[in-house]
Structure 1
Amino acid sequence: MKYIDLNCDMGEGLDNDAAIMPFISSANIACGYHAGNHDTMLRTATLALENKVAIGAHPGFADKSNFGRTEQALSDPALYELITTQLYAMQLVCKSLDTVMVHVKPHGALYNMAAKSSSMARVIVKAVKDVDPRLCFFGLSNSWLIKAAKEAGLKTASEVFADRTYQDDGSLTPRTQPTALIEKEENAVAQVLMMVTEQKVTTVNGYTIPMVAETICIHGDGAHAVTFARTVNAALHHHQLIIQRP
């Protein structure tokens, strides 16, 4: 049997977390910087516990007005502090619930910038490792995020996306482009199954590139988030794939 993780970015101020939670195995919870606050972190973590979903931190830039999707230039110490502060906040929430945080996935512009920057990726990874070396690190498949985490000896989960398209270099199509989002269920399912069963993906220009798929992301703020979560979950089960945290 093949195992695959199905994750979702949550605790970001939408009202669909409870509807999505039964279909996933990992929740990436916003830590109050790009979205959310202590109360939303607590509520989302409680929902995850009730649904036996792994709890992870989803740290992003301190930029709620742009939902953490605008690039920022931070010094290495400032970037390190940005990550550690959010991870410690998530740890405190987990401690209050007598549970543990098990993974970390950077958010938005922070994620996309570090995927292409070895220096940023290494600072983020060091911050994660210093907080807890047992954490699993989620990062874009074949990116510097995964390379840096492996170099540091962290457990990793190479991430692919059900609701986003890919460029020829394996990066996600920028949201500023009209082809960035996958809007149809059948297209999302087809892309997921190709990535999971064949370990490759078709880019926006029609090329086929290799893709390591260990965890699949569905964005909780997507217009079709609940439907995609339900449909992708069903498709994975139909193909005898067991949905389980890394």
Structure 2
Amino acid sequence: MRASDVMTGTVISVTPDMTVREVAKIFVDNGISGAPVLDPDGTVAGMISEGDLLRRAEIGTDERPRTSWLHLWSASHEARDYIKTHAPKVRDVMTKDVVTVQPDTSLAEVAAILETRRIKRVPVTKAGQLVGILSRANLVQALASVPDEPTSDVTLADGEIRAILMDELAGRNWAFAGRNIVVTNGVVHLWGIFHSMEAVDAVRVAAQAIPGVKGVEDHTEPYPAMPGI
């Protein structure tokens, strides 16, 4: 799936010259938590979200908690923080370093951007113009819309189940060579030593996805601790 398949096409936007109070009212009235900031020519100038409005002088939340590391802040950091909490216009409060995606960007790429940049939404642009916005909620909605897999009546032989599972695990770091898999009457038996229970659970999930698997039995051993640990 692509960004255009799940994005919200009707986007509420704001302008750099709006006040933060106007934006706060837009958020409340429309039940949204963020919006793109558009220049007069329709290009994305920034993003503004609830997070940008949390600490404001108007409501007495402008002072950061006094902690031991605050003295490490440079004067420039303190100046930027003052602007963020006191400036009346969106242009001074918004996030300017905005990443955008194209309508044909894959959802895998979008998810990676949202995760690595720790953001909740990303504008979708085409030829420099905003055409939509894609949020974490849109990805969850896409997942909820995926139809259930039909129940398979296929019954695979034990050898086929093992071959499919071994192929699925090939090249995955957590499925290293210190293990063995035996399949008997449709039941997958896991033997050997794994680095972690997460690795065992990952193999279990892979096995359970194979048609004809009746169950997974765990006979694995914990990875031996290093001396002195």
* Higher helix residue share: 1
Higher Rg of the two aligned structures: 2
- Identify whether the pair has TM-score above 0.5, normalized to the shorter chain: no
Normalised TM-score (structure 1): 0.23
**Bigger relative contact order (CA 8 A; separation at least 6):** 1
